[in-house]
């Protein structure tokens, strides 16, 4: 029996322990997410896994985790979620993997800066509103697979260097046999081998995901040269998809490493070619029926769906601080290119922030695609924030205006078309927008003022200020001879 077949029935600590014994597992790995969105972990021998541990938790130092506790209040607890138990797909030693929630050891309450807890609260708030009882999420997280990367930053130098056997810049190399067949700039979408050298690698990633219980729809090469890829998971509920996306990134990186390659979800590692986005498909359901579909509506959308879009568009500047949360994100989100920077919706226009896929007229397949996010985000925070923006749109009947089924570049502010608002142009602008507009995130206690303040402070202190203090290599090209 495969891991995926077994884990569907695991619900209690007793069942997880029995599963670990049946599979001959030797180690248990406790994983949890820090505030920026990276998995952290520590491990123990399988004998340490008891039913009491699932109830009492296991301690760790919260002051050593990004965005968590101060040194004088560092003791924290991890409480494993038995429903997340799988055989770790990246370990040679047979290992049980458990995703954990973070608790305060004094109050025995969930930790408010635990992003997974925020996602759980978002799902609870959705039900509390009575609008819907389930939200479904389908992120399309793109990534690059390189053969070499190096980078450094000192007081007197800075560098980065990327290489890929697929990179079109290697078409003229003469260091050995050069066999050609490389995707040209912006021509990497869907070529077969030998141009696509990563078919088997992606297939192995897909099989690892399936073994871990994550259903996958398709995989393919993406637009950029040098190994840009995409693997599309089947949609799932909010917290579950957050778990799946964390597992997705973990498997992609480790399968690449096992083959002597390196995978990155950095939004814009290459200049002059497409960056890696994460278009997020989302829909609301109630009592087993979809709420976003109406065959008589524009693009098959219901009025509720249009209000949801209205909320996404209204709050998009603030959302960007959570869904495109790095300085590098805004090298991808540049007006005039393919990036979805325009705060409009459309069933056709891929430069619109919100697109409505038109591949089928099945109401159960109808969804809204928000195209601004990228895979550098913390998925639990990003999905929760998008849900809260959409719900605010429904609650306040926010009109998204007319759809933009026209060429945004040719008709910007002309021919009777209204000027199009755009997403913030930088992370500092997005953080300022979040500070000015976040009341919608606080509803139902889903986000807290403390979490948002910590997020903004962390981004400014750890990313924006360090970047501001350092000269950029290109500045030497521009200004050395002044």
pLDDT at 351: 83
Catalytic residue, candidates 61, 75, 457, 465:
61
Work out the widest C-alpha separation in the chain, in whole angstroms: 71
Spatial neighbors of 19 by CB under 8 A, at least 6 apart, are 6, 7, 10, 85, 96
Q: Does the residue 118 lie in any domain?
A: no
Do 80 and 149 share a domain, yes or no?
A: no
Do 93 and 147 share a domain, yes or no?
A: no
Catalytic residue, candidates 123, 147, 230, 374:
230
pTM, to two decimals:
0.95
Give the end of a domain, one of 62, 80, 111: 111
pLDDT at 410: 61
Answer positive or negative: Cα dihedral of 21, 253, 228, 376: positive
Q: What is the pLDDT along the chain (482 residues), one digit of tens a residue?
A: 344 444 445 789 999 999 999 999 999 999 999 999 999 999 999 999 999 999 999 998 888 899 998 776 788 999 999 999 999 999 999 999 999 999 998 899 999 999 999 999 999 999 999 999 999 999 999 999 999 999 999 999 999 999 999 999 999 888 788 888 899 888 888 888 898 999 999 999 999 999 999 999 999 999 999 999 999 999 999 999 999 999 999 999 999 999 999 999 999 999 999 999 999 999 999 999 999 999 999 999 999 999 999 999 999 999 999 999 999 999 999 987 778 999 999 997 778 999 999 888 898 999 999 999 999 999 999 999 999 999 999 999 999 999 998 767 665 544 556 678 999 999 999 999 999 999 999 999 999 999 999 999 999 999 999 999 999 999 999 999 99
Q: Does the residue 123 lie in any domain?
A: no
Do 25 and 172 share a domain, yes or no?
A: no
pLDDT at 333: 95
Quote the number of domains for the chain: 2
Q: Is 22 a residue of the active site?
A: no
Do 295 and 153 share a domain, yes or no?
A: yes
Q: Does the residue 128 lie in any domain?
A: no
Q: Does the residue 122 lie in any domain?
A: no
What is d(CA 47, CA 26) in angstroms, rounded to the nearest whole number?
Answer: 8
Instruction: List the one residue out of 380, 426, 374, 389 whose CA is nearest residue 36.
Output: 380
Which pair of tokens denotes residue 74? 């560092």
Q: Which domain holds residue 24?
A: 3-111
Catalytic residue, candidates 114, 196, 222, 243:
222
Do 260 and 376 share a domain, yes or no?
A: yes
Instruction: List the one residue out of 55, 54, 115, 105 whose CA is nearest residue 77.
Output: 105
Q: Is 222 a residue of the active site?
A: yes
Q: Does the residue 180 lie in any domain?
A: yes
Q: Are 228 and 167 in contact (CB under 8 A)?
A: no
Do 298 and 440 share a domain, yes or no?
A: yes
Which pair of tokens denotes residue 211? 């073994």
Do 143 and 102 share a domain, yes or no?
A: no
pLDDT at 411: 57
Q: Does the residue 116 lie in any domain?
A: no
Output the DSSP codes for 166-180.
Answer: T-GGGGG--SS----
Do 98 and 139 share a domain, yes or no?
A: no
CATH code of residue 79: 3.10.20.70
Do 142 and 63 share a domain, yes or no?
A: no
Do 85 and 217 share a domain, yes or no?
A: no
Catalytic residue, candidates 369, 374, 392, 463:
369
What is d(CA 97, CA 19) in angstroms, rounded to the nearest whole number?
Answer: 12
Catalytic residue, candidates 202, 355, 371, 438:
371
Catalytic residue, candidates 34, 88, 142, 147:
142
What is d(CA 437, CA 319) in angstroms, rounded to the nearest whole number?
Answer: 9
Catalytic residue, candidates 34, 88, 140, 147:
140
Do 250 and 325 share a domain, yes or no?
A: yes
CATH code of residue 259: 3.30.590.10
What is d(CA 366, CA 161) in angstroms, rounded to the nearest whole number?
Answer: 42
Helices (H) and strands (E) in the chain, counts: 14, 18
Under DSSP, the state recorded for 461 is I
pLDDT at 41: 96
Q: Does the residue 348 lie in any domain?
A: yes
What is d(CA 170, CA 283) in angstroms, rounded to the nearest whole number?
Answer: 43
Do 51 and 179 share a domain, yes or no?
A: no
Q: Is 338 a residue of the active site?
A: no
pLDDT at 8: 46
Q: Is 350 a residue of the active site?
A: yes
Q: Is 371 a residue of the active site?
A: yes
Instruction: Please calculate the CA angle 97-103-104 and round it to the nearest 5 degrees.
Output: 150
Under DSSP, the state recorded for 397 is T
Q: Does the residue 319 lie in any domain?
A: yes
Q: Are 211 and 4 in contact (CB under 8 A)?
A: yes
Which pair of tokens denotes residue 189? 């979408």
């Amino acid at each position: 029996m495969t891991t995926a077949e077994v884990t569907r029935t695991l619900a209690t600590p007793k069942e997880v322990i029995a599963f670990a014994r049946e599979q001959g597992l030797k180690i248990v790995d406790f994983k949890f997410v820090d505030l920026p969105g990276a998995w952290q972990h520590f491990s123990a021998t399988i004998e340490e896994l008891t039913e009491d541990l699932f109830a009492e938790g296991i301690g760790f130092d919260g002051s050593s985790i990004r965005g968590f506790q101060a040194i004088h209040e560092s003791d924290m607890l991890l409480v494993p979620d038995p429903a997340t138990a799988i055989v770790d797909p990246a370990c040679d030693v047979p290992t049980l993997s458990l995703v954990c929630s973070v608790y305060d050891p004094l109050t025995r309450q969930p930790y408010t800066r635990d992003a997974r807890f925020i996602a759980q609260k978002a799902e609870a708030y959705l039900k509390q509103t009575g609008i819907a009882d389930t939200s479904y999420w389908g992120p399309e997280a793109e990534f690059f697979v390189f053969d070499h990367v190096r980078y450094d930053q000192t007081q007197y130098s800075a560098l980065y260097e990327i290489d890929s056997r697929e990179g079109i810049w290697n078409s003229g190399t003469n260091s050995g046999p050069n066999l050609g067949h490389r995707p040209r700039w912006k021509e990497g979408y869907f070529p077969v081998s030998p141009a696509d050298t990563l078919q088997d690698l992606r297939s192995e990633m897909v099989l690892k995901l399936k073994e871990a219980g994550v259903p996958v729809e398709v995989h393919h090469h993406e637009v950029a040269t040098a190994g840009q890829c995409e693997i599309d998971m089947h949609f799932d509920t909010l917290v579950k998809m957050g778990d799946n996306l964390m597992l997705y990134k973990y498997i992609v990186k480790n399968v690449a490493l096992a083959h002597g390659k390196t995978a990155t979800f950095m939004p814009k590692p290459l200049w002059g070619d497409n960056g890696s986005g994460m278009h997020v498909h989302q829909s609301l359901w109630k009592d087993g029926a979809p709420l976003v579909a109406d065959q008589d509506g524009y693009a098959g959308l219901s009025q509720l769906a249009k209000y949801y879009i209205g909320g996404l568009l209204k709050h998009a500047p603030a959302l960007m601080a959570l869904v495109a949360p790095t300085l590098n994100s805004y090298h991808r989100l540049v007006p005039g290119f393919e990036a979805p920077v325009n705060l409009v919706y459309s069933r056709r226009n891929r430069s619109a922030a919100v697109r409505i896929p038109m591949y089928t007229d099945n109401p159960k397949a109808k969804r809204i695609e928000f195209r601004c996010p990228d895979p550098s985000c913390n998925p639990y925070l990003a999905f929760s924030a998008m849900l809260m923006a959409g719900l605010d749109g429904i609650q306040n009947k926010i009109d998204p205006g007319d759809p933009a089924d026209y060429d945004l570049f040719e008709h910007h502010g002309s021919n009777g078309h209204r000027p199009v608002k755009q997403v913030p142009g930088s992370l500092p602008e997005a953080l300022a927008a979040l500070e000015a507009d976040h009341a919608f995130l606080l509803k139902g206690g889903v986000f807290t003022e403390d979490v948002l303040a910590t997020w903004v402070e962390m981004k400014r202190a750890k990313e924006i200020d360090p970047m501001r203090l350092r000269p950029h290599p290109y500045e030497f090209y521009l200004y050395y001879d002044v």
